Each structure stands twice: as C-alpha cells, then as structure tokens.
Structure 1
Amino acid sequence: MMRSLNEVTALVLKAGLGAGLPVGQAEDLARTASHLVTQNGDLRVILDAISEPNAPIDVAWGGDKLAVKAGNAAMTAPIVKDGFATGVTKARLAQTSHAPLVLAMLAAAGLDARADGPLITRTGNIPAKPGNGPVEIADEVWDALQVFAARTYVKASDASRAAGAGAGLTDND
C-alpha cells in the first residue's frame, strides 16, 4: 500500500518504542526507514532489527577502529554510525546479518561505507538525497510494524473515557 514518509517515520518510531528500544535508537531507526524507502530499500531490514530480542551491547573502541562483540542490530547500527561520524573508519560487527541495517543507517547519515562480511569500512561521504513520497510498503511489513507500535498505546478505561478520552463520547472543553 502507498504510504507517506511521515507515516513511515511515525510508525517505525512507535514500533521501535513498542519493541522496548530507547528513544534515541527508535528515532535513528525511524530516520533510517524514511531514507531507506526513498532509495527503493525494503523495510524488512528495519522490521528484522525491531524483531530481534534485546541484548546487552559490548563494544570495544581503539583508535580509528570499533569492534562490536555482542548486541542486537537496533543497538549496534547507531553505535557504528556515531563512531563513523567521530572518526572511526572500520568496524567489525558481531553478526554479519546486521550489515544491511548498519549500511542503511550510515547512508541515511550521509556516510558512505562498504561491507565485507562482518567488516564495515567507511569510504567517504555521500550527498544527502532528500526523498519524497508516497512510497510503496508491503502490507505484511506494515502490519507487523503496527503490532509493535500497538504496544505503546494506552488501554481505554472507564475513568479515561469519563475524563474525555476517545472520540465523540463526551466533550469536556
């Protein structure tokens, strides 16, 4: 189905929060999702990251290198992005499967890189390519993201309804 970039960004942000990610990482995923879909990328990379279980992150820094020893993709990608933005030129990922998200997040930040297995090497900068919508999003991906986003919604109660929550039940202004 066709979606606006605002819809994509908002849903991925809510889905990230619903998956238990910290606000900053959810925001990074949302920006990456918006960039990814305007470059004909697939949101499954984002969905896979959100679906991955939370795990403690273990990173070693040294000079212009960074090594991710453990962690999920949603936490790893922002760390690599921030490292590359501060002068890191090489990163070794704990899992090769995280490379597509890392590369997408780097591209969204204007950083060009390439992957060779678990090794990510910065190759320079890329000009910003502002995208525009609408964009096509697979229904199954959209629906799966909505399941995560729904975890952020507050359940209705009689007290909240009496206080004016909901549409058209009472008018308390």
Structure 2
Amino acid sequence: MNVSLNEVEATAKRAARGAGYPWGLAEEVGKATRWLCAHGIDGTNSLAQLLEQGLAASLKNHRPVEMQSAWAGQGVLCPIITGALLSDRSDLLHAGPIRIQKLAVPVFLLPFVASAARAQNIVITHTCDLFRAATDGDRLEAGQDWPSFSDHTQITLGGQLTTPRPHVTRATPDPACWDTLNRFAHRTYAPATEESRLLGAGAGLSDND
C-alpha cells in the first residue's frame, strides 16, 4: 500500500491517542512517525511494535527517573517520553554523552535526536548496541533494520553524514502494521448515538415540506 505522509501523521497521532498517550505526546508521535517515513524508515511498523507493548497505560513507569550516570526508569523506557525529554534538554549533551538503559523500539528515538540536533545546530550520533545513526536534524544516516529493544543506547554530540538517506514523499506501510494503527485509532471514535445517526442521515424525522 502507498499513503501520503499527511495520512501517516494523522493516523499515527490518533493511534497513539487510542493507545493511551496524552494528546500532546500523541502529536509528537505523529510527527515522529512522519519523520521516519520521510527518511525511508517504516515508522508505522515501529509504532505498531511500540503500541502493542502497552507502555502508555503506565507512562510513569516508563519514563526516565534516574538521569545521573545513565537515564533509567522503573521499567523499560518508552522512546516517546524519553525522546521528548531529550529534545527539551538537548543542552545536557554539552556535558557529555547521554546514556539510556533499557529502551523500547530505539529507532523511535531518532526523530527526537533530530530535534536535538536542530536545537544545537550540530550533527548528533545515536548508537544502540551494534546499530548507529547520525543526523543534523534534516539529513539522516542510518541502517534499515533496528532492534525492538536496546539494553544500552548512547546519544553523543558530533558525527559524520557521509551517505545520508534520500528523502521520500510517500510511505509504503506494511498492511498488517497499518491495520494495527487503525485498530488503536478506532478507540478514539465516539460510538454512534441515535441522535448522531439521525443528524448524519440529513433531515432525519423532520418534515420540511
């Protein structure tokens, strides 16, 4: 299947909200999914993986609470709330690398690393286990296949962009992953009432003659 980036962003935002993320973070999810897809990485697949884990149901257990030697939480860290914090506090990178422990779907941190790179006007390198990526906020150098979990992630100022990925204008999500996002998005739809059904039918029971 082939969809526009606008449709990716809208569907991802609604899916994140349906999964339990607050609207503010759901908007970040939409933008992040779009950013990944625009750089040729299937953000819809990554988001489907993340939402299926149900982290949004108890976000306080999946956000960084320890930020001294390494960022860590009570459980596996959610890349959305961790990424939002990284984007807001990108200035901390000037004191040295940020190390993150036990991160779910680490590729979803990339759009937030890009935001930090734009804020600091410098290339930033993101490594997790054996995977590496670098971005200046607009361009991205990264492989295609990323793990669903990383024990050790590191964000560092500096890096090289020798072969950045081409930008694309449309996304080609896996149909099963797209169905997963729509399933979560469906939770945000208000159930139909008799009144709404009548209004949707036009004149309803009124007689305009």
> Common fold, TM-score beyond 0.5?
yes
Which residue matches 2:26?
26
SS of the residue corresponding to residue 54 of structure 2 reads coil
Unaligned ranges ≥5, structure 1: none
Q: Show CA shifts across 1:129-157 (max 9, x none).
A: 99552221111111110000000001111
With normalisation by structure 2, the TM-score equals: 0.66
Structure 2 residue aligned with 1:115, among 114, 117, 127? 127
SS of the residue corresponding to residue 101 of structure 2 reads coil
One-letter code aligned to 1:16:
A
Structure 2 residue aligned with 1:92, among 96, 99, 102? 99
- Counterpart CA distance in 1 for 2:167 and 2:12 is 17
RMSD: 2.8
Contact conserved, 1:110 with 1:125, CA < 8 A, in 2? no
SS of the residue corresponding to residue 21 of structure 1 reads coil
SS of the residue corresponding to residue 10 of structure 1 reads helix
Q: How far apart are residue 37 of structure 1 and its match? A: 0.7
Which residue matches 1:103?
110
- Counterpart CA distance in 1 for 2:19 and 2:179 is 14
The percent identity for this pair of structures is 23
Q: Show CA shifts across 1:72-98 (max 9, x none).
A: 3332222223222x3335333231444
Which residue matches 2:196?
160
Unaligned ranges ≥5, structure 2: 118-123, 130-151, 205-209
Q: How far apart are residue 39 of structure 1 and its match? A: 1.0
Q: Show CA shifts across 1:53-77 (max 9, x none).
A: 2332242334xx7513233333222
Are 1:38 and 2:38 matched, yes or no?
A: yes
Structure 1 residue aligned with 2:84, among 69, 74, 78? 78
Contact conserved, 2:18 with 2:187, CA < 8 A, in 1? yes
- Counterpart CA distance in 2 for 1:103 and 1:157 is 42
Q: Show CA shifts across 1:101-158 (max 9, x none).
A: 1134323x2622221431322224999x995522211111111100000000011110
Q: Give the 3 Å change call, closer, same or farther, for CA 152–130 of structure 1 in structure 2.
A: farther
- Counterpart CA distance in 1 for 2:188 and 2:160 is 35
- Counterpart CA distance in 2 for 1:92 and 1:98 is 16
Q: Give the 3 Å change call, closer, same or farther, for CA 16–23 of structure 1 in structure 2.
A: same
- Counterpart CA distance in 1 for 2:166 and 2:72 is 30
With normalisation by structure 1, the TM-score equals: 0.79
SS of the residue corresponding to residue 170 of structure 1 reads coil
